[in-house]
Amino acid sequence: MKIKSLDIIEFGGLKDLSLDFSEGLNIIFGKNESGKSTVLLFILYMLYGLPKSSKRSGASAYDKERSLSWDNRRAEGKMEISCDGRDMVIYRLNAPRVSKTEIYDKQSGKPINFSREIGEELLGLSRESFESCCWCGQLRTGSISGEHISKTLSNLTVSGDESIDAQKALSLLRAARREYKHERGSGGLIPQLEREIAEERAEFTRLGFDLDSANHERAQTAAWEAQLASAEDALTKASLARDMAGTLKILSEFDELDDLVARELSLAQELQMLDATTADYKTTPTEQDIESLRFLKKTHAQRKDDLDAIVNAEKYSARLDENAISLAKKIDERGGREEFISRLETMKNKMSQTKLFGIALSCAGALLAVTAAVFFGTLAIFVSLICACLGALAASAACFISSGKAKKAFDEYLSSLGLAETGYLSQIERAIAQYDIYLAERQRLTDLEAKKKLAQDALDFALGEIEQKLFSFSADKKEAPLEALDGLILELSEYFSKRKKLCGELSLANVFATRKREELATYDRGALQKSLPNEISRENIDVSRLDEDYKRCLAQRDNIKNQLYELSLSIERIKPKIERRRELDIDVDEKELLLEKYKREHAVLDLAYSALEEANSRQKSNFAPKIRARAGEILSSLSKGRYSGVILDDEFEVSVEQHGASRAAGALSAGTADAVYLSLRLALIDSIFASDAPLFLDESLSQLDSERASDAISLLSDFVSNGNQCLLFTCHHREASICTQQAIECNYVKLDS
């Protein structure tokens, strides 16, 4: 491709500037700030448009700023080129809200359609490649460090672009990769995040036990709450029951009244049934009837007893001693009882008088003895005693004889009575007693006989009365009147007992019912009933029991509440842990997403790094040797053999070969470095382009001495002689002079400042 002319309408600081170029060497002269670099930028604009803001942001922004006109921010111009024998015109316009690019055939005026940027289409190079290859700008080797020079040359040699530092790029990727994960050790975001996730997972698992515990306690809570519900229910009922006790009490009294009325009715029916049992009586029985019957029974029994006593008394009399009766009869025959007593008394008196006379004689003898003793002494005592004894003895004998006679007479009398051979006084006493008994018995029997009759009459009368009474109740009770009487008495007793009881109960029921009615007269039972809640049990009307129930329910409820409170405290204690677990869960999820992102980033960086490393390695092995060889040739020519080659060592440091030795590029003079740089640039164009790519030099020879500048011009002359176009921008006249001196054909273009 050859640039034939430029028509700058408006671009940067330039306006309405037209420049024509030859197809060979063009030297564009201009003083500082005359617009040389702007012209170069215009050519770039024509081929590639305005720089994209994304690319090398700083430089591109700067270039873009330089491209737009200062007053109205426009860029507009034309460039005529020749490519493969075809002349074409490129037109571009960039203004606010306007962007226009045209390329057309100069001869036909027909537009030419390119799918890519014009530069890419024509040169097969991207803007960057074009710049790095064909562009040799200002200040490449000016006042910059040797290290930078070395690096620039190294970049140019290895990557083909002086701005591309492969080592730096690899280092950047390594650093970025290390941010995520260090090659060695456990540093980096990924291991850190993995550690955090592992720790949080462990904590999450640990807290799982607390969750289980909380779940268990919640289950317990649920169970207790179910119990609480029924306890509350019971408490409500108990409370209501207690509160409604008054109503319940009244209602229960109504119930009691019902019971009493029912009782009254029942008792009345019972009484009626009882009275029905006496229906077959001929007379209506009264309680006096029972007394009367009992009296009759008693009277009859007494009469019977009386009669029996009389009969028994008669029986007793029959057992009297026959001897006594015989004796009694004999006593009666011999003067009777008075005579017998008289005789007995007489006999007793006589016997008593005899005894008394004997005693008197004894006492007289004793008195005589004592008197004699007093008057006559001991002998006298003796004599007296004998006299006394004798006197007593005489007296006794006299008495015995006297009493014996009386006794004999009485014994004879007794004998006549038949009592002689049986004892003495006892016999007499017994006989007298027997006789008295006999007399009494005889009189008693006589009385008994009379009484027996009377008793029998009375008994018969009593029985008659009984029969009459029985008849008055029932005619069928004559066979065994006494049994019937007993039966009737029992029957009537039971009847009246039951009746009395029933009547008493009925009366009581009636009294209670009446009283209850009076008490409840002011209440409306129905209204009270309606006022009660349905759930109130009418059974619980015992206020004290209701109160106890209420207290029991309250205690039960409070106990459950306490349990629930304890559980709630426990759950509350666990709550922060559960909350923490939930946060951990979310956090782990988020971190896992982040980890996934980091891992992907790391994988991307890994791939980028390995691709760059591989590409770099390939560049070094394929591209660098070719550039280095060709550059060596050019440099040798340029330096007239002083430097025989360009060397790239293992560290990618560029050095030059001089007499078999190497000199590091960084240690070269500025001029030599520029020569090396120019060599590499030309080598690059040689190696890359089969076609005729133009070369742009912006003050590239200014650092060279005259001799080397002359050699460089010769080299450029050779370069254009191969069909390439070269545009050399300079602020010196030296390059033009060298061309004139060496008769090198060149197109000299002067830019006015």
Partner 1 sequence: MIKLFHTGDIHLDSAYSRLSPAEKARAREHERKIFTKMIDHVRREKYALLLISGDLFDSGSISPETERCVLDAFASLECPVVISPGNHDSFLSVPFYSSKALPENVYIFNSPEIQCFEFTELSLRVCGYAFMNNSYRENPLDSFSLPAFSGITVLCAHGELGVPLSTYAPLRESDIEKCNITYAALGHIHKTQEPIRRGGTLIAYSSFLEGRAYDEDGEGGALEVTIDERGAHTRRVCFSEKFYRTETLDVDGVQSSDESLARIKERVEASGYGRETALRLILRGAVPAELVLDTKTPELLFGERLLAFEVLDQTTPLFCTDSLENDYTLRGEVYRTLKPHLSSEDEYERRLAADALRYALLAIDGESIGGKI
HSE-up (13 A, CA, CB side) for residue 413: 22
573 binds partner 1 (CB under 8 A): no
Q: How far is the CB of 611 from partner 1 (least distance, A)?
A: 4
The separation between the first and the last C-alpha atoms of the chain, rounded to the nearest angstrom, is 29
221 binds partner 1 (CB under 8 A): yes
Within 636-695, which residues bind partner 1 (CB under 8 A)? 687-688
Task: Decide whether 202 or 607 has the Cβ nearer to partner 1.
Answer: 607
505 binds partner 1 (CB under 8 A): no
Stretch that binds partner 1, among 193-201, 363-371, 578-586, 706-714 (CB under 8 A): 578-586
Q: Dihedral angle at the C-alpha atoms of 134, 138, 144, 149, nearest 10 degrees? A: 10
Q: How far is the CB of 179 from partner 1 (least distance, A)?
A: 6
Which residue carries 């109503």 as its tokens?
Answer: 247
Classify burial at 272, counting beta carbons within 10 Å of its beta carbon; exposed 0-12, middle 13-18, buried 19 or more.
exposed
Stretch that binds partner 1, among 51-59, 244-252, 304-312, 698-706 (CB under 8 A): 51-59
Residue in 590, 596, 649, 707 binding partner 1, rule: CB under 8 A: 590
Task: Decide whether 226 or 356 has the Cβ nearer to partner 1.
Answer: 226
Stretch that binds partner 1, among 23-31, 103-111, 552-560, 607-615 (CB under 8 A): 607-615
Within 261-300, which residues bind partner 1 (CB under 8 A)? none
Under a CB-based contact definition with an 8 Å cutoff, are residues 226 and 565 in contact?
no
153 binds partner 1 (CB under 8 A): no
| Interaction mask 173-212, partner 1, x per CB under 8 A | x-xx--x-------------------------------x-
Q: Which residues contact 179 (CB under 8 A, 6 or more apart)?
A: 188, 189
Neighbouring C-beta atoms of residue 517, cutoff 10 Å: 12
Task: Decide whether 115 or 143 has the Cβ nearer to partner 1.
Answer: 115
Residue in 401, 433, 611, 629 binding partner 1, rule: CB under 8 A: 611
Sheet holding 135-136, edge to edge: 135-136, 695-698, 726-730, 25-29, 747-750
Within 392-421, which residues bind partner 1 (CB under 8 A)? none
Within 613-642, which residues bind partner 1 (CB under 8 A)? 614-616, 618-619, 623
- Helix, strand, coil shares of the chain as percentages rounded to 5? 70, 10, 20
Under a CB-based contact definition with an 8 Å cutoff, are residues 77 and 6 in contact?
yes
Residue in 374, 439, 490, 607 binding partner 1, rule: CB under 8 A: 607
Q: Which residues contact 599 (CB under 8 A, 6 or more apart)?
A: 180, 190
Task: Decide whether 134 or 399 has the Cβ nearer to partner 1.
Answer: 134
Task: Decide whether 409 or 578 has the Cβ nearer to partner 1.
Answer: 578
Task: Decide whether 218 or 663 has the Cβ nearer to partner 1.
Answer: 218
Residue in 34, 67, 69, 159 binding partner 1, rule: CB under 8 A: 159
How far lies 553's CA from each of 233, 266, 381, 565, 613, in Å? 9, 41, 124, 18, 85
Task: Decide whether 283 or 610 has the Cβ nearer to partner 1.
Answer: 610
Stretch that binds partner 1, among 138-146, 167-175, 276-284, 721-729 (CB under 8 A): 167-175
Within 685-744, which residues bind partner 1 (CB under 8 A)? 687-688
Task: Decide whether 162 or 549 has the Cβ nearer to partner 1.
Answer: 162
Task: Look at residues 235, 182, 193, 55 and name the one whose alpha carbon lies nearest to residue 128.
Answer: 55
Under a CB-based contact definition with an 8 Å cutoff, are residues 75 and 50 in contact?
yes
Stretch that binds partner 1, among 52-60, 104-112, 629-637, 707-715 (CB under 8 A): 52-60
Stretch that binds partner 1, among 410-418, 501-509, 534-542, 581-589 (CB under 8 A): 581-589
Under a CB-based contact definition with an 8 Å cutoff, are residues 445 and 317 in contact?
yes
605 binds partner 1 (CB under 8 A): yes
Helices 166-180 and 189-243 meet at what angle, rounded to 10?
Answer: 30
Under a CB-based contact definition with an 8 Å cutoff, are residues 85 and 66 in contact?
no
Stretch that binds partner 1, among 82-90, 437-445, 519-527, 573-581 (CB under 8 A): 573-581
d(CA 277, CA 498): 12
d(CA 31, CA 46): 24
Instruction: Give exposure, 133-170, as e/b (b: 16+ Cβ within 10 Å).
Output: bbbbebebbeeeeeeebbbbbbbbbbbbbbebbbeebe
Binding footprint of partner 1, residue count (CB under 8 A)? 72
Q: How far is the CB of 746 from partner 1 (least distance, A)?
A: 29
d(CA 753, CA 744): 26
Q: How far is the CB of 72 from partner 1 (least distance, A)?
A: 19
Within 515-554, which residues bind partner 1 (CB under 8 A)? none
Residue in 100, 334, 408, 600 binding partner 1, rule: CB under 8 A: 600
Q: How far is the CB of 587 from partner 1 (least distance, A)?
A: 7
Residue 213: both structure tokens together? 């515990």
Q: How far is the CB of 582 from partner 1 (least distance, A)?
A: 5
Q: What is the DSSP secondary-structure string of 246-263? A: HHHHHHHHHHHHHHHHHH
Task: Decide whether 211 or 313 has the Cβ nearer to partner 1.
Answer: 211
219 binds partner 1 (CB under 8 A): yes
Residue in 86, 148, 168, 750 binding partner 1, rule: CB under 8 A: 168
Q: How far is the CB of 517 from partner 1 (least distance, A)?
A: 45
| Interaction mask 111-140, partner 1, x per CB under 8 A | ----xxx--x---xxx-xx--xx-------
Residue in 587, 653, 657, 718 binding partner 1, rule: CB under 8 A: 587
Q: Which residues contact 549 (CB under 8 A, 6 or more apart)?
A: 238, 241, 242, 540
Task: Decide whether 129 or 747 has the Cβ nearer to partner 1.
Answer: 129
Q: How far is the CB of 608 from partner 1 (least distance, A)?
A: 4
d(CA 681, CA 630): 10
Q: What is the DSSP secondary-structure string of 172-185? A: HHHHHHHHH--SST
d(CA 304, CA 200): 122
Residue in 164, 313, 482, 532 binding partner 1, rule: CB under 8 A: 164
Q: How far is the CB of 576 from partner 1 (least distance, A)?
A: 10
Pairing of strands 135-136, 695-698: parallel
Instruction: Give exposure, 415-452, as e/b (b: 16+ Cβ within 10 Å).
Output: eebebeeeeeeebbebbbebbebbeebeebbeebeebb
Within 228-267, which residues bind partner 1 (CB under 8 A)? 228-229, 232
222 binds partner 1 (CB under 8 A): yes
Q: How far is the CB of 273 from partner 1 (least distance, A)?
A: 55
Residue in 13, 33, 52, 565 binding partner 1, rule: CB under 8 A: 52
Neighbouring C-beta atoms of residue 716, cutoff 10 Å: 26
Q: Which residues contact 450 (CB under 8 A, 6 or more apart)?
A: none
Within 54-73, which residues bind partner 1 (CB under 8 A)? 54-56
Task: Decide whether 362 or 724 has the Cβ nearer to partner 1.
Answer: 724
